[in-house]
Chain A
Amino acid sequence: MAHTSAAAAAGHKPKKSKQSPHSGMSKALIRRETISAYCFLLPSLLFFVTFVVVPMFICVFYSFTEYGLGGVKGFAGLDNYLKLFQDPIFHRGFLNTVLIVAVAVPTVTAFSLWVSSAIYKMHAIPRSFFRCVFYLPVVTGSVAITVVWKWILDPYNGILNQVAGTTGFDWLGNQRTAIWFIILILFTTSIGQPIVLYVAALGNVDQSLVEAAQVDGATKLQVFWKIKWPQIMPTTLYVMVITTINSFQCFALIQLLTKGGPLNSTMTIMYQVYDTAYRLNDLGYACAIGVVLAIIIAIFSAIQFKLAKTDD
């Protein structure tokens, strides 16, 4: 342990042990444990395959068909995908989605790390209090949250206009401001989980390394970057990937607040999937949009994994 930590503190990657985790175990025991592990995995695996993997392949299949309310009318080939390139709403939705991700992911990650750094050393009671405060929007229903924000942003009776003295200004009905309020509300509902994770991750940082670095005269910034940051990197990666996926899939806020408007200024790819499928009943095209969104998310996730340079 000491060897590993010292190597990490020195900025070197710890050498992976070539020893098998099963060293010293009999083959029968390994087999028994493997079977037990699969048994434990089975319920969630069944659920995952039934409700995620199978629909995923069904969706890919339908994306190549002309699929409406009356069922599959024929094979569409790549038509649904080609349509995407000519669809200005998709283009707008793509740009808005990228904007939401580009703003939300770094701000959520940075803010939650900042808050966690401030509270993880606190006494248990205030620490729990702050965790509760920031986690509250996560457990509060999105409908309740949007209703409150609607009140705040109402053009005539909203608190924001009362405070700002801009009575009548339609924050969610203005092309320039609507998307930023979507991002703001998404931000408030996204920071809870990262804060809880970061508080736990920071609490697990090896204090002996921190103390050793401090004894060696390391500044607070150096301690953070050289000691803490590498150790919380897996958490950071998880937070970034989850926030990226959540941002890409931002739907409820838009459905409840703006319906993609005004003038598609808050349209996202995810909302277009819903709108195309359930309002326009063009299910084949909706599936194609969903497939493209999945590919985009996978690319973003791959980039994040690559940048984070970790195997976790």
Chain B
Amino acid sequence: MNMKRPLAFLLAAGMTLGLTACGDPSQPGSSNAPASSSPSANSPDSSAVTLDLWSFNIGSFTEASNWDSILTAFNDKYPDITVNVTPINYQDGDQKLTSAITSGSGPDIIFEGPERIVGNYAREGLMVDLSDLWSKSGSDIAEGISSVSQLDGTYYMYPLSAAAHCMAINYEVFEAAGALQYIDEETRTWSTDDFKAAMEAIKTAIDNGTVSVATPGIVYCGAQGGDQGTRALVNNLYSDYYVTEDGTSYNANSAKNVQALTLLKDMVKNGSLSANASYAAAEELQAFANQTCAVTFCWNYSNYTQYAEQAQFTPFAMAFPSDDKVPALEMAGPYGFGVFDKGDQAKIDAAKTFIDFVCNDQTVGTQAVKTTGFFPVHSDWGDVYAGDADAELRAPFALMSDYLGRYYNLTGGWTEQRALWWPMLAEILTTDADVQTAADNYVNQANANIK
């Protein structure tokens, strides 16, 4: 029997299935040794515990070395606990985590926000109850942050810092286009009509050659990265919510949200905005830094520090425009820690010790908070940036925290609906689709996953 043909089929099938069934070989902790920033001075003994911490690239926690001073301080006090840090990012972090968790090689601790820690992992029964940490030191943490750190009354995340997502404008372009009149520079707010007028003024300035940007603004709808910006833009324009009050339904098809989507569609049609189905937030931010567009809908202090060197202009942080000039911003974070339940009580205890130290020790905690670039969740800590050289630059972002709105990111089916939001925007803004119909379709599909 000629074996070449069946062997060829087997190869073809294997090449396909291998990708599905194999864990990603590039995942942290497998073939690639994790970037360790743990002190090596510890002499292992019977009580020694080694923890794997996977840290998303929040603020300056982009490299393992940025944890060094925190880990050194921790090991001065707890020499028997070694923490290996593996930095992961939002581009492929989910893939790495999924591969690692399903293959049993996941981390002990994760540094992220409630969307993943509570919404994804705790919901799957993978996380450890951290209620004891909350009982001990969580009394001065705001109710809004406390509520999103728990699921069904059990705390699965312990927070470190939080902030608000906002948007930003190119101050010089606005000035040259005569659009500064439409913003309140003190409160950094503007109305929907002001926003519309400002964008039209910039469009006119582009047409006249007064300013050199290519478009007033880009509504990005090419991927889910940075979708908090487009969510906040739509929800604020006519002061509605992303999810209904009782959390039982997504809300893009409400009269006010459809009005907002229609306004954006009209603005795209008349050129006072662009909509790009090949852009995600990263591309839009780069376009903002390159002065291709005059506003960005995805701004916070972390992005400010990332693009500050490239931007040859003043990025002026603004709240999202709303009809009543009372914005409701989406929370950036709160970022904190969760512990995976791997059945090892010694590791769980050590992980809680580490989290308690980083989040509740004010000296080290302040350092960690500053590394994230956001603001501490402990109200007792006050202004941790006071006296710093960049305190003035951070002030606008502190102001944005006053405009925080409801946190809806733990609504059931959140992960699934994120895959539906940006295609809906693309359908509305880049095709002739009927706004109400597209929004209804989105809500129907998104609601199908609410459990």
Residues of A within 8 A of B (CB): 48, 51-53, 55-56, 58-60, 62, 68-71, 153, 155-157, 167-168, 170-175, 178, 241, 245, 248-249, 251, 257-259, 261-264, 270, 273-275, 277-281, 283, 286-287, 289-291, 293-295, 297-298, 301-302, 305, 311-312
B12 near A168: Cβ-Cβ < 8 Å: no
Which are the 10 A-B pairs with shortest beta-carbon distances?
A173-B277, A290-B20, A262-B277, A55-B21, A59-B21, A173-B278, A172-B278, A52-B14, A70-B124, A294-B13
Q: List 26 A-B contacts (CB under 8 A).
A: A52-B17, A56-B13, A56-B17, A56-B21, A58-B21, A155-B274, A156-B215, A156-B292, A157-B214, A171-B278, A172-B278, A174-B430, A175-B431, A245-B16, A249-B15, A261-B223, A262-B426, A278-B95, A280-B415, A281-B120, A281-B124, A289-B20, A297-B12, A305-B8, A311-B4, A311-B5
Contact A62:B21 (CB < 8 A) given known A178-B278, A281-B415: yes
B386 within 8 A of A: no
B120 near A69: Cβ-Cβ < 8 Å: yes
CA distance A180 to B381 in the complex (A): 56
A71 near B102: Cβ-Cβ < 8 Å: yes
Residues of B262-285 contacting chain A, CB below 8 A: 274, 276-280
B278 near A157: Cβ-Cβ < 8 Å: no
Which residue of chain A has its CB nearest to the CB of B10?
A: A53
Across the interface, B18 reaches (CB within 8 A) one of A56, A155, A275, A278, namely A56
B222 near A280: Cβ-Cβ < 8 Å: no
Which residue of chain A has its CB nearest to the CB of B213?
A: A156
B366 to chain A, nearest CB (A): 34
B277 near A157: Cβ-Cβ < 8 Å: no
B94 within 8 A of A: yes
Secondary structure call for the B interface = helix
B346 to chain A, nearest CB (A): 23
Q: Give the chain A neighbours of B4 by CB distance below 8 A.
A: 311-312
Contact A301:B8 (CB < 8 A) given known A58-B21, A273-B20, A287-B21: yes
A311 near B2: Cβ-Cβ < 8 Å: yes
Contact A51:B222 (CB < 8 A) given known A71-B102, A261-B277: no
Across the interface, A290 reaches (CB within 8 A) one of B5, B17, B415, B426, namely B17
CA distance A278 to B99 in the complex (A): 8
Interface flags for B292-323 (1: CB within 8 Å of A; 0: not) read: 10000000000000000000000000000000
Binds A, one of B327-335, B402-410, B416-424: B416-424
CA distance A287 to B16 in the complex (A): 10
B202 within 8 A of A: no
Question: Which of B22, B101, B223, B280 has the most chain A CB atoms closer than 10 A to its own CB?
Answer: B22
B17 near A241: Cβ-Cβ < 8 Å: no
Q: Give the chain A neighbours of B98 by CB distance below 8 A.
A: 69, 277-278, 281, 283
B12 near A290: Cβ-Cβ < 8 Å: no
Interface flags for B98-120 (1: CB within 8 Å of A; 0: not) read: 11011000000000000000001
Q: Give the chain A neighbours of B95 by CB distance below 8 A.
A: 274, 278
CA distance A68 to B13 in the complex (A): 23
Q: Give the chain B neighbours of A71 by CB distance below 8 A.
A: 102
B357 within 8 A of A: no
Contact A170:B15 (CB < 8 A) given known A55-B22, A69-B98: no
